[in-house]
Amino acid sequence: MTAPAVFQPCMVLLVDDQAMVGEAVRRHLANLPDIDFHFCADPYQALAIALQIKPSVILQDLVMPGISGLELLSHYRANPLVLDVPVIVLSNTEDPAIKSEAFSAGANDYLVKLPDKIELIARIRYHSKAYQTQLQRDEAYRALRESQQQLGDSNIALISLNQKLEEATRSKSEFLANMSHEIRTPMNGVIGMTTLLLDTQLSDEQKDFVETIRSSSDSLLTIINDILDFSKIESGKLDLENAPFDLRICIEESMELLAPRALEKKIDFAYWIEENVPTKVTGDPTRLRQIFINLLSNATKFTSRGEVVLEVRRASPEQMNNGAAYKSPSLGLLFSVRDTGIGIPENKLDRLFKSFSQVDSSTTRNFGGTGLGLAICKRLAELMGGEIWVSSVEGKGSIFHFTAALEVDSTHADLTGLIGISGLKGKRLLILEDNASNLRILSAYANSWGMHVSGASSSEEAMEQLEIGNFDAVMVEYQFNESVPTKTDVTVTESTPARASSYSGRELLRCLRQNTAFASVPVILLSSIRLGSIIEELGPFSISAYIYKPIRRSAVLEALTHVFHKARETGDVASADSSDELNASLPLRILLADDNAINLKVGQAFLTKMGYEIDVVTNGADTLEKLKIHPYDILFLDVQMPGMDGYETARKICRQFKHTRPRIIAMTGNAMQGDREKCLEAGMDDYITKPARPADLKAMLLKWGESPIPAKS
Ligand code: ADP
C-alpha cells in the first residue's frame, strides 16, 4: 500500500549578509503557495537556523564577513541532520575556478546573483522535490526494514510455537494410543464375557440384562473408536491404505452388518451399483466401509418406515473435491445413501458435518450419539479426494451423497458377471416384489445377464402376470405386502387392514402353484428373514432356491444359475453356521499369549467353542519356551506385554524358528496408524484389534490355518 501523497512546500533558506539580496529574493518568491521562504543575514546563525527550520534547499552566498560560504558549506556537510540538504551557491561571478571549488565542497548547484526569477524558482523546486522524494524513500525503507524485522521476530516465535504444538500433538496421540489400549483391554473382558454368558443357561430376565450390558459395551466401543478416529484425523495422523478390494463385497459387508437393525424396524434395505462402475478397485476399503456404516446406520436410525438404499455411480469431475486426485486413471465415484426417514430441517443442514453437533437436543435424547459420525465421514471423504453433502426434506427423508477417488484395479478383471450366465440368456423371469427399489435392482441384474424380465410390485399386477403365464422362473418376495410402505402417503397406511386383493408372499405362492401354467416352474424365494424352521412348511411349494436380503448380486446369480442348471433339489438355504466345530474341518495347534488374565480367558473360551484345545502363556519368554517344546500352527500374540513386548517376541521367534515357526497374529489394543506396519515389520503375519470377536479369530484361522510358513527349499 502506498500512502497518499502529502503536499509539502519547498522550505527555502537564504544565507546572505546583504539584506538587499534577501529582499530581492523574497520578492521573487512572494505569492508562491508552494514556497516557504526564510532569510538569514548572520552567517554564524546559519547552521542553527537550518537545524531548526529543516530547509529543503539552502541558497548560500559565497562572500561574507568572517566566514566564507564554502566554509559554511563544509559545516552543513559535516552535520548529519543537514548533510543531504541541497545547497545552491550564489556567486557574484561566473568563474569556473570558483565554481569547481564550490562543487567539490559539496554544492549541488551554482547561480550568479541575482538570477532570473523563473530560473531561480525552477531550480528551487527541482532541488527541493528531489530532496523531499529522497527523504520519503528513506522513510519508506526504514519502515520496511522495521516490519521485516518484526516479521522475522514473529516468524521465530511461530516456529517455536509450532514446535511446541507438534510436541503436544505427538504426546496427545501417544496418550490416545495408550488410553485406547487401556480402555480396550477391560472392554475386551466385558464384551467377551457377556458373549460367553449369553451362551449359558439364563432366565429371560437375566438374558435381557446381559444383552443390555452387551449392547451398552458395544456402543461404548463405537464411541471410543469415533473419538480415537477423530483425533487421528485432526492431528493429520491418518494415512489411507491403498489396497486392492472388491467394492461390491465392501458394500455387501457394510449392508449385512446393519441388516438386522433394518429388519427389526421392517425397513427395506438395498444397494445398487450402476453397470458402468468397475468393482475391482484399489483404495482404502476399511475407511470406505466406515463411511458406509456411518451413513447406513444413521439412515436406519432415523427411519421408521420405508427403505434405505445405497447407490453407486460414476461421479462427474465437478463433484470431486480435489481436481488433482481425480485425474486419470483415478476413478471418481458418487455414493448416495437414501432414506425415507424423519429428514432434517433446512436451517439445520449446515451444522451437520461439524464435530459434536446433532440436529437438536431432543433428537440427541431420542437417538443418542456423539455427533462425530458425519464429521469423520466428511474428513474421510476429503482424504479420499471427495466431498460429502446432503439433501433432505423434513418428514420425507434424506440423501447423503459423498464422492471418493479410487483406482481401477486392472490386474483383476471383474468376472462375476460372466460366470454361469450363459444358461440365463433369453430366459423369462417373473419377479413379484413389492419394494420398488428391490424390484428395480433385481430386474437390472437379470437384464444384465440377458434375461427377459417382468415385474410386479402390487397384488393386482402379480395376478395379471400370473394370468399371462409363460415364464421360465419366478422370484417371490416372502414378505410381500408386509413391509411398511415407502411412498409418501405413509400416514394412512400403518393401520390399513389388508385388502382382499393384498396377497402375502405365501398366498402368492399358493396362487402360483394352483395355476397349471406355473405348476412346475422353478420358484426362488426372496426373504428379509432367515426362514429357518418355516422352510419345512414351505415344502409343498417346492422352492428351488432362497435369496436373503440385503440382496447380493452374487446370491441372485447363484440362485438363478442353480435353478437353470438344476444342480441340486433345493438351493442353498441359509448356509448353516458351522463355526462351532471349525476344529473338525481345520485342525490346528494354537498358542495364545497375553499378560492379561481376562483376555486369556475370553480368547481361550472363544477358541474352545470352535473345538480347539489351546495352550496359553502370559509373557514373551514363556512363548519362546513353549515353541521349543511344541510345534504350533497359529500364535495369537498380544503386543503390549511387560518385559519382552509382542514385537520383540515376534522378532526373536522369526530369528530362532525361521521355517518352523507358527503364523503369528498380533492382537493389539492400539488402533493407531502405523501399528499394522509395526507388526508386519516385526515379522508377524497379520493383526487383529482388541476386543477380538469370535468372527475375527475365526477369520484369522481360516486365512492362515492352511498356509504354514513355507519350509526352506
Ligand atoms: P451421531 O454419531 O451422534 O449420530 P452424526 O454426525 O452421525 O452423529 O449425525 C449428526 C446428526 O445428524 C444426528 O444426530 C441427526 O440429528 C442428524 N442425522 C444424521 N443422519 C441423518 C438421517 N439420515 N436422517 C435424519 N437425521 C440425520
What tens digit of pLDDT does each residue of 175-232 get?
776 777 778 778 888 888 888 888 888 888 888 888 888 878 887 887 777 777 777 7
Higher pLDDT, 69 or 239: 69
Question: What's the pLDDT at 110?
Answer: 94
Question: What's the pLDDT at 672?
Answer: 61
**Ligand 1 and 299: CB distance under 6 A:** yes
Ligand 1 atom with the smallest distance to the CA of 357 is 10
Question: What's the pLDDT at 648?
Answer: 93
Ligand 1 centroid to residue 511 C-alpha, Å: 44
Name which residue sits closest to atom 14 of ligand 1, judged by CA: 358
**Ligand 1 and 247: CB distance under 6 A:** no
Count the helix, strand and coil residues of the chain and give each as a percent rounded to the nearest 5: 50, 20, 35
Ligand 1 centroid to residue 300 C-alpha, Å: 10
Percent of the chain scoring above 90 in pLDDT: 36
pLDDT tens digit sequence for 373-403: 898 899 899 989 899 999 999 999 999 999 9
**Ligand 1 and 302: CB distance under 6 A:** yes
The closest alpha carbon to 472, from 411, 524, 550, belongs to 524
Which residues are bridge partners to 338 per DSSP? 309, 399
Maximum mean pLDDT: which of 120-134, 431-445, 495-509, 528-542: 120-134
Phi, psi of 199 (to 5 degrees): -90, 0
**Ligand 1 and 398: CB distance under 6 A:** yes
Q: Which residues contact 48 (CB under 8 A, 6 or more apart)?
A: none
Name which residue sits closest to atom 22 of ligand 1, judged by CA: 299
Q: Which residues contact 227 (CB under 8 A, 6 or more apart)?
A: 370, 372
**Ligand 1 and 293: CB distance under 6 A:** no
**Ligand 1 and 339: CB distance under 6 A:** yes
DSSP state of 409: -
Ligand 1 centroid to residue 232 C-alpha, Å: 21
Ligand 1 atom with the smallest distance to the CA of 372 is 6
Question: What's the pLDDT at 567?
Answer: 36
Mean per-residue pLDDT of the chain: 83
pLDDT tens digit sequence for 260-296: 888 888 888 899 999 888 888 988 888 898 899 999 9
Question: What's the pLDDT at 36?
Answer: 94
CB neighbours of residue 355 within 10 Å: 17
Mean pLDDT of 114-140: 92
**Ligand 1 and 546: CB distance under 6 A:** no
Question: What's the pLDDT at 416?
Answer: 47
Q: What's at 364, amino acid-wise?
A: T
Ligand 1 centroid to residue 334 C-alpha, Å: 20
Pocket probe mutation, ligand 1, options 294, 302, 361, max atoms within 8 Å of Cβ: 302
What CA–CA distance (Å, rounded) separates 247 from 553?
12
Name which residue sits closest to atom 25 of ligand 1, judged by CA: 343
Question: What's the pLDDT at 125?
Answer: 94
Pocket probe mutation, ligand 1, options 338, 374, 394, 401, max atoms within 8 Å of Cβ: 374
Torsional sign, CA 215, 217, 219, 221: negative
Mean pLDDT of 517-546: 80
**Ligand 1 and 344: CB distance under 6 A:** yes
pLDDT tens digit sequence for 636-646: 999 888 889 99
The closest alpha carbon to 25, from 46, 41, 9, belongs to 41
Mean pLDDT of 497-524: 76
Pocket probe mutation, ligand 1, options 298, 347, 362, 366, max atoms within 8 Å of Cβ: 298
Cis peptide before 587 (omega within 30 of 0): no
Residue 316, burial from CB neighbour count under 10 angstroms (0-12, 13-18, 19+) = exposed
Residue 160 has pLDDT above 70, yes or no: yes
- Provide the pLDDT confidence category of residue 493 given band limits of 50, 70 and 90: very low
Ligand 1 atom with the smallest distance to the CA of 341 is 24
**Ligand 1 and 340: CB distance under 6 A:** no
**Ligand 1 and 429: CB distance under 6 A:** no
Ligand 1 centroid to residue 231 C-alpha, Å: 20
Ligand 1 atom with the smallest distance to the CA of 339 is 23
**Ligand 1 and 438: CB distance under 6 A:** no
**Ligand 1 and 107: CB distance under 6 A:** no
Question: What's the pLDDT at 412?
Answer: 55
- Helix extents (H) in 311-435: 323-326, 361-367, 373-383
- Provide the pLDDT confidence category of residue 329 given band limits of 50, 70 and 90: low
The closest alpha carbon to 484, from 363, 340, 344, belongs to 340
